Amino acid sequence: MMNKRSTWIAGAPIVLLALAVCSIARAAGPAHALVKFAGTRAEQRNGVEQIHELRDALAALGFETDRCGIDIADGAIGVDVFDDADRERLRSAGLDIIHEDLESDSSFALRTAPQYYEPSEIAALLAQAAADHPAITHLFSVGTTHEGRTIWGLEISNNPGVPEDEPAIQFNGQHHSREVATCHVVMDVVEQLTNNYGTDPDITNWVNNYKTVCVPMVNPDGVQYVFDGHSSWRKNRMPYSCFGVDLNRNYPYLWGPGCGSSGTCTSDTYRGPSAASEDETQAMIALVDQYHFVMATSYHSYGQFIDYPYACATGAPATLMPEHAVIHEMMNGMADAIDSVDSTPRYDVNSPVPAGGVNGDDTSFYYAHKGVYAFIVEVGTSFEPSFSLVSGIVARNRAGWKYLYSRLGGARIDVHVTDECGGTPLEATVTLRDYLYDTGELDRVTFMPFGRWTFVTPPNDSYTVRATAPGYQTANVVVSVGTSPVALDIVLAATNPPPAIFGDTDCDGDVDHADFMRFEECFSGPARSPTGDCTKVDIDSNNCIAPRRLRSLPSRVQRIVGSGSNPQDTRATPFNSTA
């Protein structure tokens, strides 16, 4: 009779055989594989050039590629393989499989680490942040998904929930559900701004002067499916002929057949049946229409690079963004900030040629259609890195998003367009005449109620801003920009103004009670207000108005109501005095 030791030794071959069988079964199943050129061919290529050649080789073999899952440093691209026949096709073409993550529908499915956030946890964390910091936060629903989950957003501002005449910036994560580290980067923005407000001077300044909106999880339906055991799921869960749309191929700009999306429902990059067909996409579009962001960052994984927003650009001038210079500057500034944190290699900056073609993505749409200076940042080196690596990913990218706040406080032009007569803000088309907007960009239109638009510019230069509005004469104004923001007020004159009537502050052709109220406002408050310029009630043009606050129409004003006459305003006192 064998003892326990001899039993173990005798049984070892059986155990090893069983493990080998399991290993073979595992290798034969679906997997996400990291692939690169084999041998000396890989050594002869480097950087983005190698990635482009590898992408073309994979496409020729029938494999889909995406800029998520690109490792530029190693010259590798992630692709989905379904069986050993796929693996053999890759090897026969001179490609090496250097790593595999088993797909979730296999019997050996990888489980998503419990430290990563599920949709319910993100909701709870944001609710707690709002409860802990009610004076500077506003928790709201960005939209609702097909399965009924809320896409949560958190505004951080010293006047939360109130429209303000100041720049806004957005951070979002998890358009793609399997990219589980990205929501942790966005939650870091929430935690840093809320916990350090009032103690950190920079953060206090950012909260006081900008609106920040954080959407950590754009795709909660897909994320829940990941946590239900399908850890490689990428899309949302909308049912068509199959499940799911790649939300970052569903935005309207360049949507359709093109450089980086698929019309096949089963594809991981399926763009959907129509532009903005998905609830999540519609919600994010409505969000930018509500806040009119100046900057936005969309976090993805993986690859450790910052990609050019026009992701179908080839480098040819006709494919570049009109404001390429400032986009290029900001991408490199962000990469430099990330690089300063530790010894991890600097994030690659793929400008003006992206690592991989993409159309229908959020950052291209944000810039082309909404004028937002937007970036995709690919974090980490896998879709689900070991959770022990997340703190480093978060710390590095903290330096990156802090750079964006610093840059927002640098060279920019804050344009305000108003009506010459009443001083009221106007909805006007504004353009930097120094650039040619010829790659499908929509007009930049000042938003109400402030008549505002912000251009971020390279520093230390002069620019010409053109403003046009229906019924008004076009204005072209030259402005010099140094290294800090410049306020540019553009006043538009009506093309066919009504006859001038003294005391007619709103240019409606008569002097009425509304004009009297404006008169009262001017001698009881500041000289300039959103409702117009006090010079409009300075009837005798001596830069002064009467200081009396009367209980009824002042006699001098009463004389001109409806008459269009030209009396003097007596007992004149300088503007800005109070009664």
Q: Which of 447, 480, 178, 72 is nearest to 291 (CA)?
A: 447
Q: How far apart are CA 433 and CA 430, in angstroms?
A: 9
Q: What pLDDT was estimated at residue 544? A: 56
Q: What pLDDT was estimated at residue 320? A: 93
CA-CA-CA-CA torsion sign (115, 116, 117, 118): negative
Q: How far apart are CA 507 and CA 397, in angstroms?
A: 52
Angle between helices 362-370 and 279-291 (to 10 degrees): 40
Residue of higher predicted confidence among 251 and 519: 251
Which tokens belong to 327? Answer: 């986009």
Q: What pLDDT was estimated at residue 535? A: 61
Q: What does pLDDT average to over the chain?
A: 83
Mean pLDDT within 325-329: 96
CB 418, CB 531: distance < 8 Å: no
Q: How far apart are CA 445 and CA 158, in angstroms?
A: 26
pLDDT in tens, 46-92: 566 677 677 778 777 777 666 556 766 677 877 778 778 888 788 88
422 confidence band (pLDDT: 50, 70, 90): confident
Lowest mean pLDDT among 101-110, 307-316, 492-501: 101-110
Task: Say how many C-beta atoms besides its own lie within 10 A of residue 120's C-beta.
Answer: 12
Task: Say how many C-beta atoms besides its own lie within 10 A of residue 548's C-beta.
Answer: 13
Q: What pLDDT was estimated at residue 47? A: 64
Mean pLDDT within 232-241: 96
Q: What SS3 state is found at 567? A: coil
575 confidence band (pLDDT: 50, 70, 90): very low
pLDDT in tens, 253-292: 999 998 889 999 999 999 999 999 999 999 999 999 999 9
Question: What's this model's pTM, rounded to 2 decimal places?
Answer: 0.81
Q: What pLDDT was estimated at residue 554? A: 44
Q: How far apart are CA 314 and CA 312, in angstroms?
A: 6
Scanning 316-408, the segments in alpha helix (DSSP H) are 324-339, 362-370, 390-408
Q: Is the pLDDT of residue 529 over 60?
A: no
Q: What pLDDT was estimated at residue 569? A: 42
Q: What pLDDT was estimated at residue 265? A: 96
pLDDT in tens, 354-395: 777 899 999 999 999 999 999 999 999 999 999 999 999 999
